[in-house]
Amino acid sequence: MAKPLNGLLVVETASVLAGPAVGMFFAELGAQVIKLENAKAGGDITRKWKLPKEDALSTVSAYFSSVNQGKEHCMTDLTAPDGRQLLDDLVAKADVLITNQMDSDTEKLGLQRERLRALNPKLLHGHIRGYTTDPSRPAYDVVLQAETGYIGMTGTDTAHPAKLPVAMIDVLAAHQLKEGLLLALWQRERSGKGAYVEVSLEEAAFTGLVNQASNWLMAQHAARPIGTLHPNIAPYGELFTCADGSRIVLAVGSNEQFKCLCQALDLSHLVHDQHFSSNAKRVTNRIVLAQMLAPAIAAAPRNELLARLREAQVPAGAVNSIDEALGSPTARGMVLEEVIDHVRTLRISGNAFRIEGY
């Protein structure tokens, strides 16, 4: 990947996931990222968030590694004179500062906006807070998933809700702050002035609701847990078991794709069935439709069936476990390795774009 941010200095005091992910994005793009960790607490708390099978004595966890490669790690105490001096020296020459400390802690840590701006008027200060209107309230991903509607529409039914298995609210906030800082960097190139860029986890969560938000705002349709199904399209998200016991998922989004699906499964008569003649009717009758598709899908092994569906231009895919998914050529090509504290760490790249000159 190109390194367009070579020469950029980023200082990070943020911890956990969202803020450190932003620092990692910049590091991948070539920036020098210096992470100041709380020495009194043993560093970023995620160093201790370990799976039972991980080395309990190691200073590095898999979780920590996921967003902290490519950085210079410095244990310090920002409340002590030497720690404060280190912060000030770095901020004075930094291009970007990434913070997520609570408002109540900013003064004792020397992270007040006005103070930082006085140290470096050209500084781009990116800050992640939890709640938009209640900055004193600690914010945790699972609570935000619950309060912003994610858990209420995730799971198999209302009796079995589920949370997203990654801290998606943190991920959304990280991307929002990265975009804001890149825009501020572009703006600084023209104005020469620094900026303060703020993102709340709460607002970032709402940005991720996209079509589900509009379904409610425009049609008063409140999403409920329906497993992998899609409220607007069918058969889209339906899971089927193949002859070898493995599963596939369909993503049929048009009448033409439905026609191709039926032809590939030797079920062409379904195309002319008035119960399935339009997407709206297929959504209404999706349970019956799935029951009619299931025997034809169950008659073939997964790989053979997927090859047939791809040949017919039908959107479908294998339901893979994470180990199967990470074994794909694409995933293997995105794995980054680095040694942190003498520990070999592996993670997936946080940037998926490519920049190529003309």
Q: What tens digit of pLDDT does each residue of 52-83 get? A: 999 999 999 999 999 999 999 999 999 999 99
- Cα gap 303→246, rounded to integer Å: 9
3-state secondary structure of 73: strand
pLDDT number for residue 357? 77
Partner residues linked to 248 by β-bridges:
240, 318
Does the structure show a pLDDT above 90 at 1? Answer: no
Rounded (5°) CA angle 10-13-18: 90
Structure tokens at 73: 């790690």
pLDDT number for residue 135? 86
Whether 43 contacts 75, CB under 8 Å: yes
pLDDT number for residue 3? 87
The residue among 298, 178, 171, 285 whose CA lies nearest residue 240 is 298
Distance of CA 80 to the CA centre of its chain: 35
Whether 53 contacts 32, CB under 8 Å: no
Whether 250 contacts 235, CB under 8 Å: yes
Q: Is the dihedral of CA 47, 48, 49, 55 positive or negative?
A: positive
Structure tokens at 253: 């989004």
The count of residues in the chain is 358
Average pLDDT score over the chain: 96
pLDDT number for residue 2? 67
Does the structure show a pLDDT above 90 at 355? Answer: no
For residue 323, indicate whether it is catalytic. Answer: no
Name the pLDDT band for 232 (thresholds 50, 70, 90): very high
- Cα gap 43→47, rounded to integer Å: 7
Q: Point out the catalytic residue in the list 44, 95, 141, 170.
A: 170
Provide the b/e sequence for 323-357 (b: ≥16 CB within 10 Å): eeeeeeeeeeeeeeeeebeebebebeebeeeeeee
Element (H, E) at 89: helix 81-93
Residue 6 DSSP one-character state: T
Structure tokens at 64: 């920590």
Structure tokens at 132: 């938009």
Determine the average pLDDT of the residues in 177-198: 97
pTM over 0.85: yes
Determine the average pLDDT of the residues in 86-92: 98
State the burial class of residue 160 (Cβ atoms within 10 Å of its Cβ: 0-12, 13-18, 19+): exposed
Task: State percent of the chain over pLDDT 90.
Answer: 96
DSSP labels, 195-220: EEEEEEHHHHHHHTTHHHHHHHHHH-
**Domains of the chain and any CATH numbers:** 9-208+332-348 (3.40.50.10540), 236-319 (3.30.1540.10)
Name the pLDDT band for 256 (thresholds 50, 70, 90): very high
Cβ contacts of 332 within 8 Å, gap of 6 or more: 326
Partner residues linked to 124 by β-bridges:
96, 195
Residue 141's identity, in one-letter code, is D
Partner residues linked to 239 by β-bridges:
249
- Cα gap 43→63, rounded to integer Å: 14
pLDDT number for residue 354? 80
DSSP labels, 309-320: HHHTT--EEE--
Does the structure show a pLDDT above 90 at 299? Answer: yes
- Cα gap 195→113, rounded to integer Å: 10
- Cα gap 39→30, rounded to integer Å: 26
Determine the average pLDDT of the residues in 170-189: 98
Determine the average pLDDT of the residues in 325-336: 95
Structure tokens at 3: 């390194």
